[in-house]
Structure 1
Amino acid sequence: MSIYQLENEVISISVDSRGAELKSLKRKDTGTEYMWCGDAKYWGRTSPILFPFVGGVKNKEYRTQGRTYSMTQHGFARDMEFEPLSSNMPSQHAPAPSRPSENASAENGSEIWFQLCSSQETLANYPFAFLLKLGYRIQGNRVTVLWQVENPGKEVLHFSIGGHPAFNCPIEKGTNQTDYFLDFGNVDKVVSTKISKNGLALDEKETYTLDNGKLPISEHLFDNDALVIEGNQTDTAALCRADGTRYVTITMDAPLFGIWSPAGKQAPFVCIEPWHGRCDNENFQGTLEERQWDNQVSPGETWKASYTIAV
């Protein structure tokens, strides 16, 4: 496990090679830390990668290729050691190792990349060859999180992938989380899929009416688990101070996302989670290939996605 740092004139970030997890995002002018610290009293993670599953599978098992496999919630990548591919940090003077070619135009010192390869360990519970690459690119006040899933195998690769970044909320001393707002941009409502007590999706929906795109963060907003916003309802989700100004904004190409904070803990953070996939439906009986929001990569091909955090 190693910590890698990257900075420009506006922000600095730290990334742990375990899970290639973003651990810190600070503005240099104010010293403000935006990422949750990972205090296990509330939740011991900061920004895990969710792969090859987002959410849970029914009865903690799934079916593919005529067999049944066990799988924990959110998959295994978040708990595995990633190999650094590039670490062209300002403090380093040696030439940077090779990185994915489509990012070669990025400014020197602006990116860091990690990879995780399938192994005998992963194949035991997920019978697909894969190469997962995770990159962080900084530019001005923004961090772009880049995902690439490559298929080196001989059969179609099925997977889900998602982010789970947790942001400090409240962000200012002397304020309460209930002083803050979620901002979903230029929409007047969002519709959330309800989640059951065992973490599976229900057929029920809940509609949240917004005021100029905003939803107050009430004390009981997360009593029934995450808000799950499906179907490209918006490409923006932000956290706002009491005066309505945004201090963290996520923009994404994901078709769905979650908003979460642990129920009943008064945890001082809120997660905004871009997802390409989600948990099983409560009544789901199908195979991996039949899951909603399934992603596929043909042999020899690469799947790509990203999201951006602005502070």
Structure 2
Amino acid sequence: MAEYQLKNQELTLKISSKGAEMKSLKDNKTNQEYLWHGDSAYWGRTSPVLFPIVGNYREKESVFEGKTYSMSQHGFARDMEFTLESQKEEEIWFELKENEETLKKYPFAFRLHLGYRLDGRSVEVLWKVENPNEKKMYFSIGGHPAFNCPLKAEEKQSDYQLSFDTDKTLVCSILGETGLLTARKKEFELTNHKMRIVEDLFDEDALIIEGNQAKRVGLVNPQGETYLEVEFDAPLFGIWSPAKKSAPFVCIEPWYGRSDKEDFSKKLEEREWGNELKAGEIFEKSYQIRVK
């Protein structure tokens, strides 16, 4: 495992080769840290990539071409060692390929390229998935960055808010105890594009917002200032902090995929919000983290 650094005049970003995971995002002038540091008392990760699934398979199993495959929540990429592909002062790329162990869990060869690019006070997170198989490949991918909230020890998270690039009521899907999508929905009315982070907001796990309801989500400090935003083209996203732990961070997660429904068939090619690539095709997406 190695650690790499990108730096410009505004920000310093540190990335680990394990999971190609962002580990630190600091303002060079104020030394303010924006990324959660990964304390296992709450949650030991900081910004894992979710691949080749987002969320959970029903009963941790998928079926493809008559064979059953088992995989744990959010897939295996976040726990694997990536290879450094290239590095410049403000851009870096990592690569992950299949091996004997991944093929036991997931029936495809793959090339996952994960990049980071600094631009002023922004970080662009870049994904590129290649299909080297001679058949169609099915997968999901997502981000899971965790941001410090509150920023200051003397502040309370319940004095912070989430902001959205919409003022419509958000309709959120709800996960059950097994990590699968239930039929229940929860609605959140926004006030001036904002929602307060009340103490019980995450008591039922992540808020899952499907169907392109928003494309930009921000964190707002007690003074009413948005200090960080995540912008994406993903059709759905999650907002999460560990249930009933009063954890001092909030995750804003752009997703191309999600957990199965409780009554799902388990067929890999039928997963909702999943993605497919024909032989030789490439999937390229990105999202941006903007520090104000």
Task: Indicate the TM-score class for this superposition, using the shorter chain for normalisation.
Answer: over 0.9
1:231 to 190, 211, 236: 211
Q: What is the rounded CA distance, in whole Å, between the counterparts of 2:20 and 2:179 in structure 1?
A: 25
**Secondary structure at the counterpart of residue 275 of structure 1:** strand
Equivalence map 1:85-96=2 (5 Å)? 85-88=85-88
Q: 1:212 aligns to what? A: 192
Give a deviation string over 1:210-268, Cα, whole Å, max 9, x none: 00110000000000000000000010111110122111100001000000000111110
Q: 2:90 aligns to what? A: 110
**Is 2:167–2:191's contact at 8 Å kept on the other side of the alignment?**
no
Amino acid at match of 1:258: G
Q: What is the rounded CA distance, in whole Å, between the counterparts of 1:204 and 1:304 in structure 2?
A: 32
Q: 1:246 aligns to what? A: 226
Give a deviation string over 1:161-189, Cα, whole Å, max 9, x none: 00000000101231100010000123232
* Structure 2: gaps of 5 or more residues: none
Equivalence map 1:22-101=2 (5 Å)? 22-88=22-88
- Residue 282 (str. 1) matches residue 262 (str. 2): yes
Q: What is the rounded CA distance, in whole Å, between the counterparts of 2:100 and 2:11 in structure 1?
A: 39
**Is 1:180–1:242's contact at 8 Å kept on the other side of the alignment?**
yes
Say how many residue pairs are matched.
291
Q: 2:123 aligns to what? A: 143
**Secondary structure at the counterpart of residue 203 of structure 2:** coil
Q: 1:195 aligns to what? A: 175
Deviation at 1:198, TM superposition (A): 1.1
**Is 1:189–1:213's contact at 8 Å kept on the other side of the alignment?**
no
Amino acid at match of 1:78: R
Deviation at 1:285, TM superposition (A): 1.7
**Secondary structure at the counterpart of residue 36 of structure 1:** coil
Runs of 4+ in 1 over 6 A off after TM superposition: none
Amino acid at match of 2:105: N
Amino acid at match of 1:58: R
TM-score of the two chains, using structure 1 as the length reference: 0.92
Q: What is the rounded CA distance, in whole Å, between the counterparts of 1:22 and 1:170 in structure 2?
A: 19
Amino acid at match of 1:57: Y
Q: What is the rounded CA distance, in whole Å, between the counterparts of 2:15 and 2:90 in structure 1?
A: 13
* Structure 1: gaps of 5 or more residues: 89-108
